[in-house]
Amino acid sequence: MNLIINLLCAFAGTLGFSILFNVHKKFHLYCGLAGMSGWLGYLLFIERTSPAVATFFGALVVVLMSRAFSVWKRCPITVFLISGIFPLIPGSSIYYTAYYLVTNSLEMAAVKGVESIKIAFAIVAGIVFVVSVPRKWFNLKYWRRGAKDLK
């Protein structure tokens, strides 16, 4: 139950940000789906691994979904990617880093700072990983043709 509420919130949040960025109405639903599945990917891994690893898988899912949508709907990938990646951005770690810096607990600041850098790099890795996959792989026809060739 908790999981479902979480996913619904991720969906609604991503959709809200796509409105904020003036995405066309016909793409709102897909933006929400991309964000929701990314958050699902994050949740699946967060209990067994670290936040950075979970963020990597979350970002991976978001970018995969965004690319699939962008090939399917023939529109720029940015449309889905920007709002979909929002829940994964390490806003809280960066905020805590500055908070501990200002309140003079430098040790905690270092911990949180390294954590936010790790998460940011995880997002970078996730995006770069999928962006370098050839575009035609996201086209269903390519795979159907591939299956025929094998026969």
Partner 1 sequence: MSIDETEISNKREVIQFALDAGTIQLSNGAEIWRVEDTISHICRAYKVEDVDAFILSNAIFITGSNEKESIFAKVKHIPMAGVHLGIITDVNDLSREIASGMWTVEEAKVKLEEIRNQPPNNLIYRGVSAGFASGCFGYILGSSVTEAIVTMVIAFVVFLLSVYFEKKQLSKMVKNILGGAFIALMALAATYIPLIGTISVNQIIIGGIMPLIPGVAFVNSIRDLANSDFLSGTVRMLDTIMVFMYIAIGASTVLSLYHAVLGGAL
Which residue type occupies 143?
A: W
For residues 10 to 49, the per-residue mask of contacts with partner 1, x marking binding by CB under 8 A and - elsewhere, is x-xxxxxxxxxxxxx--x-----------x----------
Give the burial string for 108-123 (b: 16+ CB within 10 Å, else e). Answer: ebeebbebbebbbebb
Residue 102 and residue 20: Cα distance in Å, rounded? 31
Residues 51-90 interacting with partner 1 (rule: CB under 8 A): 74-76, 78-79, 81-83, 85-87, 89
99 touching partner 1, by CB under 8 A: yes
Closest CA to 29 of 84, 77, 78, 74: 84
Please count the residues of this chain forming the interface with partner 1, following the rule CB under 8 A.
48
In the complex with partner 1, which residue's Cβ is closer, 13 or 45? Answer: 13
Nearer to partner 1 among residue 49 and residue 105 (C-beta): 105
| C-alpha span between 103 and 116 (Å, rounded) | 18
Q: Measured between alpha carbons, how far is 112 from 81 in angstroms, rounded to an integer? A: 26
Instruction: Provide the binding-site residues for partner 1, judged by CB under 8 A.
Output: 5-6, 9-10, 12-24, 27, 39, 74-76, 78-79, 81-83, 85-87, 89, 91-92, 94-99, 101-103, 123-124, 127-128, 131-132
